[in-house]
Amino acid sequence: MFTIKGKTCDWELVIGLETHIQILSNSKVFSGASADYNPSISPNTHVSMIDAGMPGMLPVLNKFCVEQVIKMGLGLNAEISRTSRFARKQYFYPDLPQGYQISQPADEAPIVGHGWIEIMGDDGKPKKIFIERAHLEQDAGKLKHDVHPTKSFADYNRTGVGLLEIVTYLDTKNPENNSYITSPDEAERYLREIREIARALGVSRANMEEGSMRADVNVSVRPVGSSEFRTRTETKNMVSFKFIKTAIEYEARRQIEIYENGGTVSQDTMHFNQGEGTTSVARSKEDALDYRYFPDPDLLPVIISDEQIERIRSTMPELPSQTRARYTAEFGLSEYDAARLTETTDISRWFDAAVMGNTKRAKSVANWMISELFAHPENYDILNEKSGIVDGMRIITPSDLAELVDMISENAVNGKQAKEIFIKMLDGESGTPREIADKFGMKQMTDTGAIEKIIDDVISANPSQVEQYKSGKLGLLGFFVGNVMKATGGTANPAVVNEILRNKLA
């Protein structure tokens, strides 16, 4: 449920995302020009006659791009159309020399049809988000308005790079079917899941910062329990998780306010103002563009065979949802922990590297990662987006954590000592956890005779507490444990101390 100023309100959010991911391929989707448009490359060097929109040039469909789209479609648990078509979406803008974008019309089968992905819902439980379709289209070029005071420049290196647009589904015939995104957090988790599926499959870098993943955000609100959807607005071309969340929140509040003041929301295209974190109307439905879609006469239909689909399916790696299922089934992790550990493929790889198939280690490794390592991303190589070793910084590796966890389970150190070793590693201490333990003389006291002796001393030094404990104040056990641990310099095994104490005080 949506909250305003910390209070839940009577409105709920309906969110639809159109996510563009750029297809990772050597050449563009309809020409042989390189698909590399890195800013370091001179403008307009990767442009073929086709991309430049020269009259009479014929586009040729890149088969590799189609395979990438099929792969992604399978990753989205979607139906793959056996026959699909391309259409021209007409618009005149200098970033697209052809004067139209080759795309796939929504009303004819695009390559990828109905599908779904699973995310963690706001209630912490798995939630299915339905996908309506995903279609293959061309990217546009880049206009540069900030290089010269009076001139604008166009760089067509990106023109014609393959894009896959993935559209979430809204079941308008059954508005109670809630397999769609209903909060800013779910929107972020959905986009992250799309990103990880695309990366795991090698279909796209899906990186918002570099623009290889972008989203159009559709938002409407409706009274809780309502049985129809209301008018939505669309904020286009968003390239940051944070801004997307801010835009959704702002837009939802704006619409709620309009309704609460008796007004109506109009179906506008919104502009997101980064500085203020607000949205404002960019253009209204009245002057919405008429794209005059029509079938592209230069391109044949795409025919996909069952064999091709099965061949691609057989090469698919483990996807995040399958990894989560493995973590809950094989390692007994909670849904929540499994979701946290599969937020990125790098995290799950790190986790797998630390567990190394040792099921007994899994739960502790998960706990340490989620509660300690996630709090120190700078020391945790894979969470450091920039990766690599920052000057003098100790990077904690999967084998470091595996060793630490093993030391605890072997009773070589207790939990408190393990934490100290961990902190020393964060502080840049070199060596493995065992070497660090040796160096600082950290060892768990396992000699029960010696522990017993200390316990006896603590008991005889505190007769009145013993009296109270025996008369039923059992909470005092912690007081005795604390004193014994102090007397052993924190080196005793707390479980052993507890047990001996309980017996002696009984």
Looking at residues 51 to 110 of the shown chain, list those that interact with ligand ADP (rule: CB under 6 A). Answer: 106
CB of 305 to ligand ADP, least distance (A): 28
Two tokens, residue 137: 């289209």
| Spatial contact of 164 and 115, defined as CB atoms under 8 Å apart | no
Residue 16 in contact with ligand ADP, rule: CB under 6 A? yes
Q: What are phi and psi of 231, to 5 degrees?
A: -60, 140
Nearer to ligand ADP by Cβ, of 218 and 323: the residue is 218
Does 232 help bind ligand ADP (rule: CB under 6 A)? yes
Count, residues near ligand ADP per rule CB under 6 A: 17
Nearest alpha-carbon partner for 290 in 84, 92, 17: 92
Q: Which helix (H) or strand (E) covers residue 4, if one does? A: strand 3-4
Q: How many CA atoms lie within 13 A of 209 on its CB side?
A: 2
| Site string (233-262) toward ligand ADP, x via CB under 6 A | -x----------------------------
Strand ranges (DSSP E) for 195-298?
213-223, 233-238, 269-273, 278-283, 294-295
User: Could you give the 3-state DSSP secondary structure of residue 214?
Assistant: strand
> Is residue 183 within the footprint of ligand ADP (CB under 6 A)?
no
* Three-state DSSP class for residue 142: strand
Measured from the CB atom, is 219 or 408 closer to ligand ADP?
219
Nearest distance from residue 286's CB to ligand ADP, in Å? Answer: 15
Residue nearest to ligand ADP (CB): 16
Stretch 280-339 residues interacting with ligand ADP (CB under 6 A): none
Distance CA(179)–CA(170), nearest Å, equals 8
Q: Which of 339, 357, 353, 355 is nearest to 405 (CA)?
A: 355
Question: Which residue in the block uniquely carries the two structure tokens 């309009």?
Answer: 258
**CA-closest candidate to residue 184, choices 229, 243, 224:** 243
Contact assessment for residue 476 and residue 468, using Cβ atoms and an 8 Å cutoff:
yes
Stretch that binds ligand ADP, among 161-169, 268-276, 317-325, 467-475 (CB under 6 A): 161-169
CB 372, min distance to ligand ADP, A: 39
Q: Judged by CB under 6 A, which stretch of 168-176, 424-432, 438-446, 488-496 contacts ligand ADP?
A: 168-176
Q: Which of 170, 355, 405, 442 binds ligand ADP (CB under 6 A)?
A: 170
230 or 271, CB closer to ligand ADP? 230
- Shortest CB 323 distance to ligand ADP, Å: 26
Kindly identify the residues of this chain, within the stretch 407-426, that bind ligand ADP according to CB under 6 A: none
Nearer CB in complex with ligand ADP: 268/372: 268
Name the minimum Å distance from CB 143 to ligand ADP: 23
Neighbouring residues of 450: CB distance < 8 A, sequence distance ≥ 6: none
By CB under 6 A, residue 189 contacts ligand ADP: no
| Residue 180: count of CB within 10 angstroms of its CB | 23
Rounded to whole angstroms, the Cα distance separating 22 from 214 reads: 9
Contacts of 48 (CB under 8 A, 6+ apart): 28, 31, 32, 33, 57, 160
Residue 218 CB, shortest distance to ligand ADP, in Å, is 3
Q: How far is the CB of 373 from ligand ADP (least distance, A)?
A: 36
Residue 47 binds ligand ADP (CB under 6 A): no
Nearer to ligand ADP, 167 or 407 (CB): 167
Yes or no: say if 374 and 382 are a contact pair by the CB < 8 Å rule: no
Residue nearer to ligand ADP on the CB measure, 106 or 370: 106
For the bound state, the minimum distance from the C-beta of residue 239 to ligand ADP, rounded and expressed in Å, comes to 18
Choices 75-83, 226-234, 448-456, 496-504; region in contact with ligand ADP by CB under 6 A: 226-234
Q: Work out whether 220 is an interface residue with ligand ADP (CB under 6 A).
A: yes
The two tokens of residue 52 are 């430049």
- Asked whether position 168 contacts ligand ADP by CB under 6 A, the answer is yes
* Piece of 38-46, 204-212, 227-235, 359-367 that binds ligand ADP (CB under 6 A): 227-235
> Which of 34, 48, 218, 348 forms a contact with ligand ADP (CB under 6 A)?
218
CA atoms within 13 A on the CB side of 353: 14
182 sits in the region (left: phi over 0; alpha: psi -120 to 50; else beta) called alpha
CA atoms of 298 and 283, how far apart (whole Å): 32
Find the binder of ligand ADP among 64, 91, 229, 291 (CB under 6 A).
Answer: 229
DSSP assignment letter at 342? T
Q: Which is nearer to ligand ADP, 192 or 419 (CB)?
A: 192
| Torsion angle of C-alpha atoms 297, 301, 302, 304, degrees rounded to 10 | -170
Q: Which residues bind ligand ADP (CB under 6 A)?
A: 14-18, 106, 167-170, 218-220, 229-230, 232, 234
